[in-house]
Amino acid sequence: MVRRRRLVPMTRTAPPATPQSTPRRGRPRDAARDRAILDATLAVLAESGYRALTTAAVAARAGVSTATLYRRWSSKDELVVAAAATHVEAVHAQPDTGTLEGDLRVLLRDKAAALTGEAGRLMQALVGEAARNTALADALTTAFLEPVHRRVGEAVRRAAERGEIEAVPDAELLGAVVVGPLMSRFLLTPRPDRVDAATARATADRFLPFALRAVGAIGGPGGAPTSP
């Protein structure tokens, strides 16, 4: 009689657990590459105008792929506004000079400097397109108009608190009154990039008496602003 051997099931040794891989974070943005793309945008815009500008042309000028460009800016409008912002004044908090006249003088001179030179020519191109492009108009309003209007509002409120003028309701709305004429002057000037710094500064100072009257203040004897 043949005895059968009982088979013992073999146990398999589980393979050693592999450590969980740590998720890799995305590559940090390269500031130099960002700047190259924005500079290329300005160059193509100056050469071709807004309507003829394409993201492909900008990417080729910057030496990057269009995918790289779109990872940073999702649309042509966003790209152009970001590029223009590098060439236009950075709007900082309004310095407190201690007087309304001093505050408005600084603000008008800042704005005149921003609207002349190469920046002025670029803004002319963008403003012209914004009349037909709602998205671009909204972006320009948010980036360039609202900050300077807030600066005017802050200066006026401080002046009211000091007792220089009576309180003004809706002080920020005065921004359009104070800065609007200066913007019209430079944006309607052929080739504002040919206006030198001294001329821009002098023009800003000529607008100062009218800005003071608009907010209910009169500077210096005879209604003329005092010298800086």
User: Which CATH number goes with the domain that contains 193?
Assistant: 1.10.357.10
The rounded distance, in Å, linking the Cα atoms of 20 and 84 is: 45
pLDDT the model gives residue 92: 54
pLDDT the model gives residue 170: 79
The rounded distance, in Å, linking the Cα atoms of 218 and 169 is: 19
The rounded distance, in Å, linking the Cα atoms of 178 and 70 is: 38
φ and ψ at 171, to 5 degrees?
-60, -35
Helix (H, G, I), strand (E, B) or coil at 220: coil
Tokens of 6: 């009982």
Helices (H), 116-215: 117-130, 134-140, 146-162, 174-187, 197-214
Range of the domain at 67: 31-84
The average confidence (pLDDT) of the chain is: 80
Residue 12: inside a domain: no
pLDDT the model gives residue 162: 93
Residues 76 and 103 in one domain: no
Residue 17: inside a domain: no
Residue 96 CA, distance from chain mean position: 22
Which residue, among 20, 39, 195, has the nearest Cα to 112 in the 3D structure?
195
Residue 211: inside a domain: yes
List CB contacts of 34: < 8 A, sequence separation 6 or more: 72
List CB contacts of 64: < 8 A, sequence separation 6 or more: 33, 36, 37
pLDDT the model gives residue 10: 46
Question: Sign of the CA dihedral 221, 223, 224, 228?
Answer: positive
Residues 59 and 109 in one domain: no
Provide the residue-wise pLDDT of the chain in tens; the chain has 228 residues.
545 555 444 444 444 444 444 444 445 677 889 999 999 998 898 888 888 899 999 999 999 999 999 999 998 888 988 887 776 655 455 678 999 999 999 999 988 988 887 767 777 778 888 888 887 888 788 877 888 888 899 999 999 999 999 988 877 788 889 999 998 888 887 777 788 889 999 999 999 999 999 888 865 444 456 656
The rounded distance, in Å, linking the Cα atoms of 167 and 196 is: 37
Residues 159 and 210 in one domain: yes
The rounded distance, in Å, linking the Cα atoms of 106 and 224 is: 17
Which pTM does this prediction carry? 0.71
